[in-house]
Structure 1
Amino acid sequence: MNEVIKTLLNHRSVRSYSDKAIKKEDIDLIIKAAQQAPSSIDGQQVTIISVEDKEKKYKLSKLVGDQKYIDEAPIFLVFCADFYRAKIAGEITGEKIIITDSQEANLVGAVDVGLAMGNAIAAAESLGLNIVPIGGIRKEPEEVIELLGLPEYVFPMVGLVLGYGEGPSMVKPRFKPEVIFHKERYNKDLLQGIKDYDKVIEDFMTKATGGRDTKSWSEMMSGTYKTIYYPKVKDALEKQGFKGIK
C-alpha cells in the first residue's frame, strides 16, 4: 500500500483545534493541489476563499450553526461554485453565457467543488494537518455571501476547517464495499447491508462519545432528511444568478 492510499484510508474529521499557525508554504501546496483537480470542460468553476481574520471566523462560526472549531482553528477555507469568470469570458468574446439558467450549472459547480475539496483534504492530511468539512456554510447563505463579498454567479458550497487537531479522533467505519460498489447495474437488495452497518455505527458512536450518542446510521439519516434543513439555499442561489429554470 502506497503513502497516498494510506493517507486516504486514515481520513477522519476532527472537531477540536489548537490555534497553532499553518506554514504559508503548506497552504500554498493545498491550494495548488485543489486547483489540479479535474473540472468540467476545464472551466475551473471553483474559487477558494481563506478566512484567517479572528472576527470574521467567529462570525462564520455562528452563521454555520455555532460550530466553534471554525473559530478555534487558524484558517477556514470556503469553497465556492464560480461562474463569474465564465461571464467575464463571455464579455471578452461577445457571447451570452446562459449555463447559469440551467440545473446543469448547479451540478457542475457542486461536482467541481467536491473534486477540488477532495484534493485539498488529501493534501492537508498528507502534510500532517487535520480537517473537518462544513456544509453549514449554506445555512445562512445570503449573510455569508455578503460577508465574503461574493459577486453574482458565485455561491458558497462548503467550508473546510484546517489546522492541528487536539485530542483523540477515530476513523469512522464505512459501509462494506458491496453496499456502495455495484457491478454492471444498481443492486437494490441493500436492506441487510444497511442493518449490519447500523449496528457498526451504534457501537462506534457509543465508544466515540462515551455513550452520549448511540444513534444508528439509519436514525441519523432519517432524522436529518425528514426536513429541508437549509431552506434558504434556493432563494440565495437565484439571487446570485443561478436560475435553474432549464
Structure 2
Amino acid sequence: MNDVYHTLINHRSIRSYTDQPVSDQDLTMIIESVQAAPSSINGQQVTVISIQNAETKSKIAELSGNQSWIAQAPVFLLFCADFYRAKIAAELNGEQLVITDGLESIIVGSTDVGLAMGNAIATAESLGLGIVPIGGARREPLALIELLGLPEYVFPVSGLVVGHPADASAKKHRLPQEAVWHKEKYNTELEGLINQYDDEVSAYMEKRTNGKETRNWSQTVSSTYNRIYYPQVRKMLEQQRFDFK
C-alpha cells in the first residue's frame, strides 16, 4: 500500500500525550511541508506560530475552552491567515491592499491555511507523532491575538497540537462515501445515508463509553450548529482590518 495513502487513511485525533519532546528536526520537517503547500497566486497567505513555553500553552488551553491537551503536549502550532506580508508587498510597489475589503480574502486565507495544515498533519503522523486540530483557537481570538502579538491583516484560523501519543485513539467512522462523493451533480437524497451513519456512530459511542453514551452524528452536528458558537470572530476580523463589502 502507498505510504502516503496509508498515513492519511489511518488518521486519528490524539488527546493524550507523553512528556517526550518533539525534536527540532521533526518540527522543521513539519514547517517545511507547510511551506510546500499550494496557495492562491503563490501569495503564501499562511503563518505558523509555534509555542513550546509551558505558561503560554496553559494560557492558550484556557482561551481555547480549557482543552488540557494543549498544555500537556510539547508543541502547539497556531495557523494564521496572513495578509500582512501582502500589505508590505503593496507598499513596496506603490499599490493599495484592497483584497482585505472583501470576503474573498477570508476564503483565500482560510483555504491556504487548510491546505497547509493538511500537509502538517500528514507529515507529523508520518513521523509517528500525534495531532489534534484546535478550532477553539477562535473561541477568544482577541485575547489570543494580543497574547501572541498578531499584527493587522493576520487572524487565527486553527491550532494544531503536536506530540508523542500516550495512547492510540480509536479510529472514528466516516460518512458513507456516497454522501461525500457526488458524481456529475449534487445528490440531495442523503437522509437514508445519514440515518445509516447515525446508527454506526451510535454503536461506536456506546462501545467507546461502555454504554454511557449513544450520541450519533446528526445529534452532535445539530446541537452544535444551532448557535454561533464563536461569536467574537466577526469582531476579530474587523479589528484585524478585514471588511465585508
Q: TM-score range by the shorter chain?
A: over 0.9
SS at match of 1:207: helix
Show structure 2 runs of 5+ residues with no match: none
Match of residue 237 from structure 1: 237
Structure 1 residues not aligned, in runs of 5+: none
Give the aligned partner of residue 225 of structure 1.
Answer: 225
TM-score normalized by the length of structure 2: 0.99
Aligned to 2:49: 49
Kindly provide the amino acid, as one letter, of the partner of residue 169 in structure 2.
S
Aligned-partner SS, 1:143: helix
Deviation at 1:209, TM superposition (A): 2.5
Equivalent pair of 1:106/1:244 in contact (CA under 8 Å): no
* Alignment correspondent of 2:76: 76
SS of equivalent to 1:47? strand
Deviations 1:156-203 (A, max 9, x none): 100000001112311111111111000111000000000000011111
* Offset, 1:48: 0.2
| 1:60 and 2:60 correspond | yes
Match of 1:80, SS state, is strand
The answer for the alignment partner of 2:190 in structure 1 is: 190
Other-structure match for 2:105: 105
Per the alignment, residue 137 of structure 1 pairs with 137
- Following superposition, the deviation at residue 119 of structure 1 comes to 0.3
Match of 1:181 in 2: 181
Which string of whole-angstrom CA distances, capped at 9 and with x for unpartnered residues, describes residues 80-122 of structure 1? 0000000000000000011000000000011000000000000
Superposed CA RMSD in Å reads 0.7
Which sits farther off after the overlay, 205-214 or 48-57?
205-214
Aligned-partner Cα distance in 2 for 1:125–1:28: 14
Q: Which residue of 2 aligns with 1:25?
A: 25
Kindly state the Cα deviation for residue 144 of structure 1 after the two structures are TM-superposed: 0.2
The alpha-carbon deviation at position 222 of structure 1 amounts to: 0.3
Q: Is the contact made by 1:10 and 1:171 (CA closer than 8 Å) also made in structure 2?
A: yes
What TM-score does the superposition give when structure 1 sets the normalisation length? 0.98
Find the residue that maps to 2:157 and give its secondary structure. Answer: strand
**Structure-2 residue corresponding to 1:118:** 118
Q: Which amino acid aligns with 1:150?
A: L
1:58 maps to amino acid: S
1:158 is matched with 158
Identity %: 55
Q: Per-residue displacement from partner, 1:10-58 (whole Å, max 9, x unpaired)? A: 0000111112101100000000011111100100000000000000000
Letter in structure 2 aligned against 1:3:
D
| Cα distance between partner residues in 1 of 2:214 and 2:28 | 40
Q: Which amino acid aligns with 2:102?
A: S
- C-alpha separation in 2, matches of 1:200 and 1:169: 17
User: Equivalent residues in 2 for 1:35-46 (5 A)?
Assistant: 35-46=35-46
1:88 matched to which residue of 2?
88
CA shift for structure 1 position 210: 2.5
Q: Which runs of 4+ in 1 moved over 3 A?
A: none
